[in-house]
Structure 1
Amino acid sequence: MFDAITTPVSLPAIALLGLMLLPVLLGLVIWSIRSHRDPSLSVDCDNAVTELLPSMAGLSQGTVYEGNSVELFENGAFFDAMFDEIARALASVHFETFLWKEGRLGARLVDALVERRRAGVAVRVMVDGNGGKKMGDEAKRRLREAGCRLVFHHPTKLRHIGVVNDRDHRKLVVVDGRVALVGGHCIVDGWLGNAEDREHVHDLAVRLRGPVVHGVQAAFSENWVEDTGELFVGDAFFPPLERCGEVAAHVASVKAEGSPPAVKILHHLAVCVARRRIRIQNPYFLPDDEAIEALCTAVARGVDVRVMVPSTDASDMPLVQHAAHRNFHKLLQGGVRIFEYQTCLLHQKVMTVDGSWCAIGSSNFDDRSLETNDEITLSLCDERLARQLEEVFERDVRRCVELDAESWSRRGLWPRCRDNVLHVFNEVL
């Protein structure tokens, strides 16, 4: 009998094999996480969208707030309302934004917040760690020296490496727990003015009064508590709120562990129950296959679906617009009408359904907003506001070029290849 001859495997070889298998293992982990968070959504419902606000709120882990008032603001007019509210603050100002760049607008905001803090008002400011990199040392110094609490969410530090891709994309202000402002405006000078040229931005926001302000305050508290551990309590932050209007609303902001985020559920449900018309304005419109199918299915059942995005030349991120073009042929062939806004960056994140329901907030129509970022979107049943938003859409159409399905299908090989490559790259990021 002869003993079997074995060749010992060296430790370096085992280590090398482990390193080779590591990317495969990580890929499986990422795939598993995404597959569990991205189930195929389906809706079987014949109800009108106005009858479904409790369902929308419940499915997106929110609460319906009755009896609110809502005011719409366009472009730089939003800041007039914001500064008026800050100047009237008696107890607290909570401010949260994704992007803050040094400039005239930022300096004015610092002045307003410092003045209120010196008057004894509690001031808390939260800025995304990446979006606040160009805020300027002077602004940070003045806020902190005045006693304002300034916090950067997930700044670029080694201890944040596990959440480096999780960004705070919300834009909101809550004053005295009684008034809230929500929209897409950033603290950058381009948001001033009236969207008159390529140096400015076209955006929308709303001012809220009534019980729904508690929901916006709760959204602010989420990241504040994560980053500081501070629980702010009492009437200075959550006062009793009486009815002050007739608008029913809910706040979609939850990014549930292991489930589709609230904003994604909200968008999908609204599209699936639309009966007459859908209007969408969004700067970064990259719907996934499921959303594309839902929009095209809406057209097939007789819904007039129109989408407005900035043109590649007007966008601040032209590569993202090219990536979005990859699926435009599916939408156009499915009967979705697509308009490209030419004047400047169209930045509002708005959807209206059947002239009676609307959504407005910080969420883009792409995977980053719907799956990764912290966002806030308001769901509102209000015919007056929906009509205002549809009027904005119709006015903006006059500054658009509508894409044509036949012409789009004849695009050359280079644009198709470029769009496909950029779409893959955008998905990876």
Structure 2
Amino acid sequence: MIDLITTTVSLPFIAVLGLMLLPVVLGLVIWSIRSHRDPKLSIDCDRPVSELLPSLAGLSQGTVYEGNSVELFENGAFFEMMFDEIRAARASIHFETFLWKDGQLGQRLVEALIERRRAGVDVRVMVDGNGGKKMGDEARRRLREAGCRVVMHHPTKLRHIGVVNDRDHRKLVVIDGRVALVGGHCIVDSWLGNAENRERVRDLAVRLRGPVVHGVQSVFSENWVEDTGELFVGDAFFPRLEPCGGVSLHVASVKAEGSPPAVKILHHLAVCVAKRRIRIQNPYFLPDDEAIEALCKAVARGVDVRVMVPSTDASDMPLVQHAAHRNFDKLLEGGVRIFEYQTCLLHQKVMTVDGHWSAIGSSNFDDRSFETNDEITLSVCDETFATQLEEVFERDSRRCVGFKAETWAQRGVWPRCRDNVLHVFNEVL
């Protein structure tokens, strides 16, 4: 009788204790996973970045593609080029984006894709399930009825609960397996125009031709195969590609299980080997302590490091900009020069090193892009292209306000508390 009473009392107690310990266990699991994906990176190298493309590619699990052409497009001009390429498609169109909102631009894109599908072109469209919430049922219905395949990546459904935080942040288009477009442009009307006021967005993208297009096509296939199981093969998607320029590139996109993602390794490596100058333009610049240390060490060895971000008033996510301010003290004290773009949301995600190497793509300079999102970043070894991006930086700097360490240090208690709280909140998310 005593044993029965003891057992009866113990079972609820054990259940309650188990429930209390569950958050601790889950926390340890998450910490363990993140710690393996976020080791402290180190490098000892005195060679210039212009000689290290094979190393940059290999360590970020990519392949160097030789003999390509790269063309830079700014703001709304990108879409005019994009629609020209879509109209020229004869075999296949693969379109992938994070953000699509119903509007003039979205409707025009729907019409263009439907027209090509009716002409016999295979059309596949992938939109992030979260970023595409405002795409509109009508757009999806019309595309599907015309024969286009439309997939929403990780929509908010119970079966996706385990991957609800894994977002597809890539923006790319592949035409006939021969032309690829990569950058930061989203299908939202504010990306139209020429970044002339607060209602517009400042952004950059590139058109690629040459063997590297196979690399971009393989990136599109990653989430497409995950969500549909379909393997597309043949010359309509992977034709033989001859060299058509003199630019060497590789594509960083891999998120290896249990290892640091390729885009994080790529950016860290480039900063650590810089000899003369680094230029960064990024809308959400929240480097971790390791990246801050790398940038400040670059300054200490004589590198001119400049970073450009949108102002809090111009940003679409001002709370994130305030969170970013938390690290400005360390960066400014370390000699990093910081500029805030005033005209509108500065959305391009680019970095140049020493006037020889560049990165451009979808990746923000924060832990979400580096460790969680699906991203694509092009690593470009070409002096002409790097010069173009540096000229863009200089031109944009005329619309910026620059900060100085001594002035920033004089901020009041309230701004500092606000920035620290928002930084913690951003880290939790």
TM-score of the alignment, normalized to the shorter chain, above 0.5: yes
> 2:357: which partner in 1?
357
SS in 1 for 2:339: strand
1:14 Cα shift?
A: 1.1
SS in 1 for 2:130: coil
Amino acid at match of 2:93: V
1:39 Cα shift?
A: 0.5
Comparing 402-411 with 197-206, which one deviates more in the overlay?
402-411
> 1:330: which partner in 2?
330
SS in 2 for 1:11: helix
Amino acid at match of 1:366: D
SS in 2 for 1:125: strand
Cα deviation 1:126-146 (Å, max 9, x = unaligned): 000000000011111110000
> 2:121: which partner in 1?
121
Tell me the distance in 2 between the aligned counterparts of 1:397 and 1:351: 15
1:315 Cα shift?
A: 0.2
Tell me the distance in 2 between the aligned counterparts of 1:138 and 1:36: 43
> 1:300: which partner in 2?
300
Amino acid at match of 1:166: D
Tell me the distance in 2 between the aligned counterparts of 1:252 and 1:318: 29
Cα deviation 1:156-205 (Å, max 9, x = unaligned): 00000000000000000000000000000000000000000000000000
Tell me the distance in 1 between the aligned counterparts of 2:26 and 2:372: 18
> 1:236: which partner in 2?
236
Tell me the distance in 1 between the aligned counterparts of 2:272 and 2:190: 36
> 1:268: which partner in 2?
268
Tell me the distance in 1 between the aligned counterparts of 2:308 and 2:237: 37
Tell me the distance in 2 between the aligned counterparts of 1:273 and 1:134: 42
Correspondence list, 1:90-109, <5 A: 90-109=90-109
> 2:187: which partner in 1?
187
1:421 aligns with 2:421: yes
> 1:343: which partner in 2?
343
1:171 aligns with 2:171: yes
1:309 Cα shift?
A: 0.1
1:10 Cα shift?
A: 2.5
> 2:50: which partner in 1?
50
Tell me the distance in 2 between the aligned counterparts of 1:80 and 1:391: 23
1:202 aligns with 2:202: yes
> 1:227: which partner in 2?
227
Correspondence list, 1:136-175, <5 A: 136-175=136-175
Identity of aligned residues (%): 86
1:410 Cα shift?
A: 1.0
Cα deviation 1:318-371 (Å, max 9, x = unaligned): 000000001110000000000000000000000000001000000000000000
Correspondence list, 1:9-88, <5 A: 9-88=9-88
Tell me the distance in 1 between the aligned counterparts of 2:19 and 2:420: 31
SS in 1 for 2:111: helix
SS in 2 for 1:34: helix
TM-score scaled by length of structure 2: 0.98
Amino acid at match of 1:371: E
> 1:89: which partner in 2?
89
SS in 2 for 1:422: helix
Amino acid at match of 1:72: L
Tell me the distance in 1 between the aligned counterparts of 2:222 and 2:35: 26
- Note the aligned Cα RMSD (angstroms): 1.1
Unaligned runs of 5+ in 1: none
SS in 2 for 1:123: strand
> 1:256: which partner in 2?
256
Tell me the distance in 2 between the aligned counterparts of 1:331 and 1:34: 25
1:404 Cα shift?
A: 1.2
Cα deviation 1:203-230 (Å, max 9, x = unaligned): 0000000000000000000000000000
SS in 1 for 2:292: helix
Tell me the distance in 1 between the aligned counterparts of 2:189 and 2:381: 32
1:7 Cα shift?
A: 5.7
1:11 Cα shift?
A: 1.4
SS in 2 for 1:10: helix
1:383 aligns with 2:383: yes
Unaligned runs of 5+ in 2: none
> 1:410: which partner in 2?
410
Tell me the distance in 2 between the aligned counterparts of 1:179 and 1:427: 38
TM-score scaled by length of structure 1: 0.98
